[in-house]
Chains A and B, each alone.
Chain A
Amino acid sequence: MHPPLSLIWFFLTAGTSIGLFTFTYFMEFLTLWGKNTALPKHMVVFSSLLSLVLIGLGAVGASFHLGHKLRAWKAIRRFRTSWLSREAVFSGAYGLSLLIFLALRYYDVTGFLYHAVGILTFLLGWLGAFSTAMIYASNKFVLEWNTSLTVLYFLDMYLMLGSSAFLAMTYHYDPRWVGTYVFLTFLFVTLGLFFRLAFNIRQAFLKRPTLNEALNLPHNRPIRVLDTGTTTTNYCTEEFYYRKGKELLPITIPIAYILTFVVPIFLLLYVWISGKNQYAFYAVTFASLLVGSLLERWSFFVEGNHVQNLFYGLYPEEGYKLRKGFMEWKKTKITYR
């Protein structure tokens, strides 16, 4: 699949926003249980404001994926059937709820209402995240994505982004919690590494359909694509198959692994073992996660193979034989008796 940059942008901004808010509110929530975890007011306000700006930027960025941005509001209409519609509704409601939460904290309304809105914002944020993940996971025609791993992994990446951002922030405002967040970030990143590995290993064992199945023809007869009925690439070949991306995958996936998992895990372990508690480590952890996730999402899209590529001879088992302006010629020998 061709990776849409606007959707990758939304992943990074919404992920950091929802993840960051989760931990910001989580600390507030614990106070309800008599725990002494209240954060300084300006930290809560700053963190919520950052979350709000990020989700706003995410929504603006994601709208570049649409042909008609001004009609985007219509996306709320099919809430009952469409995950994209649910994503739009939940993400919009999350932004609104976040704004109210921020106002309540700013004006020191920290009673029942504050926590009710906090919990609501938390729920809306994660429902939005779940809906986004389901857009990919529910697509039966991209086998690489069509698994619960896609959802688990997606949500875990939001936690990775959120906890590492929170880690850097708490270092400044309330260093009491640095140790906890070093551990949590480490935990989520390690989990993420396992999910990503599982995702990649699964691809090797996928039972993929063949052109024979697509054409509903006998399985024992070899079929080749001779002509795709189009002189150049078209919408379908461009959107669902990205040759340059496929060629780059062997480079981008290892780099994504290194930046998303290896560097953060190494840095956090180093902090843990050496006791060198410095801001730079946390800032680099977050930055590395951010850039790594960008590459990881890019690879995720390119790794996806849509079954409709079968008709064009561009599906993995076909070996990506068909190239632009290139047709395989078979030498034919005519024997004459």
Chain B
Amino acid sequence: MAQFALVIDLNTCVGCHACATNCKEWNTQASFGPLSDFDPYGREPEGVWYNRIMTYEMGEFPNTQVFHLPKSCLHCQDAPCVPVCPTGASYKREQDGIVLVNYDDCIGCKLCSWSCPYGCREFDEADKVMKKCTLCIDRIYDESLPPEQRKPACVLTCPARARFFGDIEDPNSEAYRMIKERNGFVLFPDMGTNPANHYLPRTETKIHIDEHLLRADNPLFLEVVRRHHVGL
């Protein structure tokens, strides 16, 4: 059985939020939109997003690393959000494993969001239904698009090429290869959800900086000296 998914490279993701923004842009105008915004010009603009980028810092100073974690619905293979839905509005497709919400059947009881350990579902207060990443199903099957465009909006837009899309059950797909070759992992494996989306781990890189780079006119270097002198 096919299982479509995203594979995200944590090594190259720069946390630019382009994927989240383009996701919102595409899905607001496409079949699963709109993604409502509340108080968009106010002090606390709030809205529905399918994809959110979290930023974490790992390690103890000075050996710390910052990494960004884009998180949208992981299209779990044993999705706990599906069986709890009382109307069957939440369902997982046989043919490609994509988890979707039928807005016409959703009664807005929110139980699916209670049953997602990743926080990947959002309730749209304007439409009163539950919404979530559709894996851009309306792009990937759209035959009016040129084949290279039949990919999720977030994958197409990522400037760092950190996102890959494909069938993780098909050895010929890019997603499958990435997971195998680069040791892809999933979030919260203990939860028994078997997520389809994978992440590629960060690899350790050593950068050697030649001494001539520490020349006095390096603006960064000057900044360090200045901070040092004022005792910061």
Footprint of B on A, CB under 8 Å? 1, 65-69, 71-72, 74-78, 81-85, 88, 135, 139-142, 209, 211, 213-217, 221-236, 239-240, 306-309, 311-312, 330, 332-336
Q: Does B228 touch A at the CB level, under 8 Å? A: yes
Q: Does B139 touch A at the CB level, under 8 Å? A: no
Known contacts A222-B58, A235-B122, A311-B118; decide if A67 and B106 are in contact (CB<8 Å): yes
- B107 near A68 (CB under 8 angstroms)? yes
8 Å CB contact of A308 from B20, B53, B117: B117
B residues 170-224 touching A (CB-CB < 8 Å): 185-192, 199, 224
Closest to B42 in A: A232
Q: Does B49 touch A at the CB level, under 8 Å? A: yes
- A334 near B224 (CB under 8 angstroms)? yes
Known contacts A141-B115, A334-B227; decide if A229 and B20 are in contact (CB<8 Å): yes
Stretch touching chain A among B25-33, B82-90, B150-158, B160-168:
B82-90
Closest to B66 in A: A226
- B54 near A72 (CB under 8 angstroms)? no
Docked CA distance A224–B80 (Å): 27
- B105 near A71 (CB under 8 angstroms)? yes
Q: Which residues of A contact B45 (CB under 8 A)?
A: 231-232
Known contacts A88-B86, A223-B58; decide if A213 and B190 are in contact (CB<8 Å): yes
- A234 near B85 (CB under 8 angstroms)? no
Q: How many A-B Cβ pairs are below 8 Å?
A: 171
Footprint of A on B, CB under 8 Å? 17, 20, 44-49, 52-61, 66, 69, 71, 80, 83-89, 105-111, 113-119, 122-123, 127-129, 185-192, 199, 224-225, 227-228, 232
Docked CA distance A99–B2 (Å): 50
Closest beta carbon of chain B to A159's beta carbon, Å: 26
- A234 near B56 (CB under 8 angstroms)? no
- A66 near B107 (CB under 8 angstroms)? yes
Closest to B123 in A: A235
- B113 near A239 (CB under 8 angstroms)? yes
Docked CA distance A78–B88 (Å): 6
Closest beta carbon of chain B to A76's beta carbon, Å: 8
* Most chain A beta-carbon contacts within 10 A, residue among B52, B107, B108: B107
Q: Which residues of B contact A1 (CB under 8 A)?
A: 114
8 Å CB contact of B87 from A75, A139, A211, A221: A75
Known contacts A84-B109, A235-B48, A308-B117; decide if A67 and B123 are in contact (CB<8 Å): yes
- B58 near A217 (CB under 8 angstroms)? yes
Closest beta carbon of chain A to B91's beta carbon, Å: 10
Nearest 6 pairs between A and B by C-beta? A67-B108, A67-B128, A308-B119, A85-B86, A81-B83, A227-B55
8 Å CB contact of A231 from B44, B111, B127: B44
Q: Which residues of A contact B85 (CB under 8 A)?
A: 78, 82
Closest beta carbon of chain B to A325's beta carbon, Å: 9
Docked CA distance A229–B125 (Å): 20
- B119 near A311 (CB under 8 angstroms)? yes
* Apart from the given pairs A224-B58, A235-B113, A308-B116, 13 other A-B contacts in the complex at a CB distance below 8 Å: A66-B107, A68-B106, A68-B129, A71-B87, A74-B105, A75-B86, A75-B109, A222-B58, A224-B56, A226-B56, A229-B52, A240-B119, A307-B117
- A307 near B224 (CB under 8 angstroms)? no
Closest to A1 in B: B114
- A82 near B107 (CB under 8 angstroms)? no
- A221 near B58 (CB under 8 angstroms)? yes
Docked CA distance A72–B17 (Å): 37
Docked CA distance A217–B71 (Å): 16
Closest beta carbon of chain B to A288's beta carbon, Å: 31
Closest beta carbon of chain B to A314's beta carbon, Å: 10
